[in-house]
Amino acid sequence: MMQHYRRLIKENPMKIEISRFQRRFFSASATLANRAMVLLVVTSFVGLCLIVLTFGAAINPTAIIFTQTMLFCAFGPMMLHGAVAGERERRSWELLLVAPVTKGQIVVGKFLGAMALLVAGAVAMLAPLVLSTFYQKQIDVSSLLIKELVSISFCMLVCSWTIFISSRVNRPLMALGVILGTEFVLLAVVPALVSTMVGSDRISQIFILYLNPFDVLSKGTNLFSGESIDSFYGVTQLCIYLVFTVLFLIYAEKTLHFADNDVKFLPKPKEDAGS
């Protein structure tokens, strides 16, 4: 276990991706699209802080975490959709493969690079979150912490899913379309259909939307009363998100061992020797 930790994290040469992401978005050489993305995030952050300062007593801290989750669901794929597909499009993937790094180190390095920026964003979002709590007379800090961890862990899941999709296609824009389309269907279309089909049947809604982060944030532990649907609601989803994050990263690394240009979700079956 410690050997894997040293190889994939502590001694991973692909941790250079952290500084690479910083250059892509915060340096003078950043592209116009990346600058526009950063400007959008900064504007949203400043606007959110101003809203909290102006309407502090009316702002529920959960709304801040909702906003953070939505921003991360968009910003994560935008950073990582070209993690592997972009390397293929730029013809730099072959050079990366002959470098003294393993495919596992490549996948983990890309993931760590994006997570470093997103964790910095989560730290920045603590400012409006803390401001909103000051205006509340009573609040359950442990419940607020669980909601924040749910948001961050779901962001990690989105990032790992993005790397997995990027490893299976040749074009970054195709990867971005698949990822954003998947998010839209699972986070917007499915909840709308569920509310139409099951109506006010609370049990059915909980069962179908159990892993929807926005449903978890809205129906989890009440920040003011401390009451919850069950004692593990929120913590359970957090653990599931982390498990799927690891699984997607593992499968992304496994699929990179497929034959060159065999960009499919499953490897080709082996043909019989006599055929």
Containing domain of residue 35, as a range?
2-255
The CA-based angle 172-173-179, given to 5 degrees, is 90
Residue 209: count of CB within 10 angstroms of its CB: 21
Place of tokens 């509310």: 195
Q: Count CA atoms within 13 Å of residue 11 on its CB side.
A: 9
- Does residue 93 form part of some domain? yes
Identify the helix (H) or strand (E) that includes residue 2: helix 2-5
- Does residue 269 form part of some domain? no
- Does residue 208 form part of some domain? yes
Tally of domains within the chain: 1
- Does residue 262 form part of some domain? no
Give the pLDDT band of residue 61 (cuts 50, 70, 90): confident
- Does residue 265 form part of some domain? no
pTM over 0.85: no
- Does residue 268 form part of some domain? no
- Does residue 227 form part of some domain? yes
Burial class (CB in 10 A: 0-12, 13-18, 19+), 192: exposed
Task: Determine the Cα–Cα distance for residues 187 and 249; give it in Å rounded to an integer.
Answer: 22
Task: Determine the Cα–Cα distance for residues 232 and 218; give it in Å rounded to an integer.
Answer: 15
Burial class (CB in 10 A: 0-12, 13-18, 19+), 155: buried
- Does residue 260 form part of some domain? no
Distances (CA, A) of 184 to 16, 38, 220: 32, 22, 22
What confidence tens digit (pLDDT) does each residue in 161-215 have? Answer: 999 999 988 889 999 999 999 999 999 898 888 777 776 666 766 777 888 898 8
Name the CA radius of gyration of the chain, rounded: 21
Res. 266: pLDDT tops 60: no
What confidence tens digit (pLDDT) does each residue in 130-171 have? Answer: 888 887 767 777 888 889 999 999 999 999 999 999 998 888
For 240-270, b where at least 16 C-beta lie within 10 A, e where not — what string?
A: ebbebbeebbebbbebbebeeeebeeeeeee
